[in-house]
Structure 1
Amino acid sequence: MKLYLDPGHGGSDPGAGGHGLKEKDIALDIALKIRSILTTQYENIQVKMSRTGDTTKSLSERINEANAWGADFYLSIHCNAFNGSARGYEDYIHTGLSDSSTTATYQNIIHAEVIKLNQLQDRGKKKANFYVLRETAMHALLSENGFIDNAQDAALMKQSSWRQKVAQGHANGIAKAFNLKRKQQQDDPDTGTEYKVIAGSFKSRDNADERVTFLRSKGIESFVDTVSISGVTWYRVQAGAFSSLDNAEKRLEEVKMTGIRDAFIIAEDSRGTEDVEIPSGYSILGQTFLSPEHMNLFVKNINPDALELGIYYSTFGEYYGIRGDIAFAQAMHETDYLRFTGVVHPKQNNFCGLGATGPDNPGASFETPKEGVLAHLQHLYAYASIKPLPDEYPLVDPRFDLVARGSAPSWVGLNGKWAVPSTTYGQSILGLYEKMIINARENLENVLKEVKG
């Protein structure tokens, strides 16, 4: 089945607006979510989108593309506007079609599935002579997902979880109408989770638009996603949404290569619930995403007197190809947020418990905090890689040669090795890293609120 998915408006055409929202942004986010659900959860479906970013495209260009591609179904996503008092959901097929037509049957099915989830008043199934319904060579439906100028509908539109529900309703309807077969879970371990790359979050819409313009100049498509956090409206610049975490990481790296440092990844499940759950098989080797400043802010929220080690974990993490921010989380786990409430003493500069076995043996000591972090990263490198240790820095890890090289390529692989006999050591580190990501996002939003407000 070939679906041509058309988020309405875009670029120089914002569509309707109201309550700090633009139709083009809401439509695009819903459409991207529909694509993600369908392509990750169902077999034998191809999705082509008229746009995946904030780009300008004429109606004739969209129709010609869909017709030339030979789509089986054309779905156009929109939001409505009237006078601020109208509310609800409605969808349209072409006025020349009968109620017994195949297109009308598809409308009946999709309409019913959307209404189940979208929390909007049902304004009914309608017909119109819209261009995208008249000129398409395939079955076509246009949905109007709430009134953007209505305060109650707009409040829903600001919620990512609501947009996810709307997308899920459309996807459920398409799957039912076209008898799509659901993929087996083992063939698709990422089913239901979407990883979004957020390239900045702003209180000012103008600042968010400037970031989008900058990214587009660098060849990276993005758009502004409006969210409400603790009753405050934020404009988040989304630079991609992926069913694969690896692909999201690649896009995040592309964004950071442009000089943007306040980018991060969020994960969203099929219900629209945002989280930052890190897969248990997450590798030790990989990219460091959190900045040194974010690492330092995280620990200082708990221990204001903590050393600022972020720059060392970032620098050595990049050099050895190790996820330095997760190594930092491991250090926080080992040292109780640098308060050293265990057997290791602060003056040892031993941030990962190297060689510590008990009160009578507090482990290795290092001359400086920098050297202590270096030893930590070298010890992780021994576990994660079988390659020779790069030689720019001297070997300061006294236990490097005691490690079975490459025996723990993932963080949970450290279970029973770094911590004995713990079976949840790696999971604890990843859980702490999740908190670091959330904290980084909150700190960024607070800083931007002060600067921009």
Structure 2
Amino acid sequence: MNWKNDRIKRYMEIGMAVLIVLTLGLAGATGVLSTRAEENGGVSEERTESSEGSAGEEPADEDLSGAGDSESDGGASESGISEVSADGQYPIMGESSVTVQEMVDYFNSSGEEYPAEELSAGGADSIETFCQMYYDEAEAEGVRAEVAFAQTMKETGFLQYGGDASIEQFNFAGLGTTGGGVPGNSYPDVRTGIRAQIQHLKAYATTDSLEQECVDERYEYVKKGSAPYVEWLGQQENPDGTGWATADNYGYDIVGMIEDMQED
């Protein structure tokens, strides 16, 4: 009887093997295993596409910012507007880099005569007094004094005027002068005219509120914080197309004057 038991056992083992083969073949035919493999593969592909999509968007944003930087600083930076200050741009806000005496020396080096008669009527009988007013008013608002002073020298031709505004208006940066003979704003004295100019600069440079009572009639019209750097005061060089003036390289000219002032 033992040989019969061995034979039955062998048949059972063969039957089990056949059954396993048939089961695997059936599973392959219905696509169960391949479907699971595809599902697993699909998850990986989705993650890859999501990752590539994010990576693709970031360089695109950088490219757009870089294009703006090219307009403002001749392509010196392609890393975005937020990093421009580290690449040579001159901030409007901050501690002054010049002294009152350096401002005085810079004016005197121009060879122009200080209009004492006209500006004495507004409370600034000397270039020393005039420069001290600039320094004090700028410091009160956190604006760099050299920025405002250099802008005045550019706008007025070292206080010689000759444009639409006249010296009796105590308007030192062409506030409200829109061309075509429009004289622009007038102020009661030299200090008020200086304060208005500095408040206007601050409006362009930052969204921070003023420290002193607003005397700048055009303050509310400025897009706050649109020109944090002197170079961006020119509309043609500003990435947003906003700015103080439309002339080519307006802000860059002022920076050049600041550099001259620092060397005196």
Smaller-chain TM-score bracket: 0.5 to 0.7
Indicate the residue corresponding to 1:349 in structure 2: 170
1:384 to 205, 222, 231: 205
Runs of 4+ in structure 1 deviating by more than 4 angstroms, as ranges, are: none
The 5-angstrom pairing of residues 179-194 of structure 1 reads none
Alpha-carbon spacing, 1:186–1:413, altered in 2? closer, same or farther (3 Å): closer
Instruction: State whether residues 282 and 410 of structure 1, in contact with CA within 8 Å, keep that contact through their aligned partners in structure 2.
Output: yes
Indicate the residue corresponding to 2:195 in structure 1: 374
Indicate the residue corresponding to 2:113 in structure 1: 304
Indicate the residue corresponding to 1:318 in structure 2: 139
Task: Give the superposition deviation at 1:407.
Answer: 0.7
Report the Cα distance in structure 2 between the residues aligned to 1:436 and 1:341, rounded to whole angstroms: 23
What do the CA deviations read for 1:76-98 (whole angstroms, capped 9, x no partner)? xxxxxxxxxxxxxxxxxxxxxxx
Question: Alignment partner of 1:366: what SS?
Answer: coil
In structure 2, list runs of 5 or more residues that go unmatched.
Answer: 1-75, 79-84, 116-125, 236-242
Give 1:293's aligned amino acid.
Q
Report the Cα distance in structure 1 between the residues aligned to 2:104 and 2:179, rounded to whole angstroms: 28
The 5-angstrom pairing of residues 276-425 of structure 1 reads 280-301=88-109, 302-306=111-115, 308=127, 309-390=130-211, 393-416=212-235, 417-420=243-246, 422-425=247-250
Indicate the residue corresponding to 1:48 in structure 2: none
> Which one has a larger percent helix, Structure 1 or Structure 2?
2
Instruction: State whether residues 280 and 427 of structure 1, in contact with CA within 8 Å, keep that contact through their aligned partners in structure 2.
Output: no
Identity %: 33
Indicate the residue corresponding to 1:434 in structure 2: 259
Task: Give the superposition deviation at 1:313.
Answer: 1.5
What do the CA deviations read for 1:231-286 (whole angstroms, capped 9, x no partner)? xxxxxxxxxxxxxx98xxxxxxxxxxxxxxxxxxxxxxxxxxxxxxxx65111111
Task: Give the superposition deviation at 1:423.
Answer: 3.6
> Which one has a larger percent strand, Structure 1 or Structure 2?
1
Report the Cα distance in structure 1 between the residues aligned to 2:113 and 2:101, rounded to whole angstroms: 14
What do the CA deviations read for 1:291-320 (whole angstroms, capped 9, x no partner)? 112212211232232452211121122111
In structure 1, list runs of 5 or more residues that go unmatched.
Answer: 1-184, 188-244, 247-278, 440-453
Task: Give the superposition deviation at 1:412.
Answer: 1.2
What do the CA deviations read for 1:184-203 (whole angstroms, capped 9, x no partner)? x989xxxxxxxxxxxxxxxx
The 5-angstrom pairing of residues 92-131 of structure 1 reads none
Task: Give the superposition deviation at 1:288.
Answer: 0.8
TM-score (structure 1 length as normaliser): 0.34
Q: Kindly tell me the number of residue pairs found equivalent between the two proteins.
A: 163
Report the Cα distance in structure 2 between the residues aligned to 1:414 and 1:305, rounded to whole angstroms: 27
Report the Cα distance in structure 1 between the residues aligned to 2:77 and 2:195, rounded to whole angstroms: 39
Q: Which has the larger radius of gyration?
A: 2
Indicate the residue corresponding to 2:42 in structure 1: none
The 5-angstrom pairing of residues 219-258 of structure 1 reads none
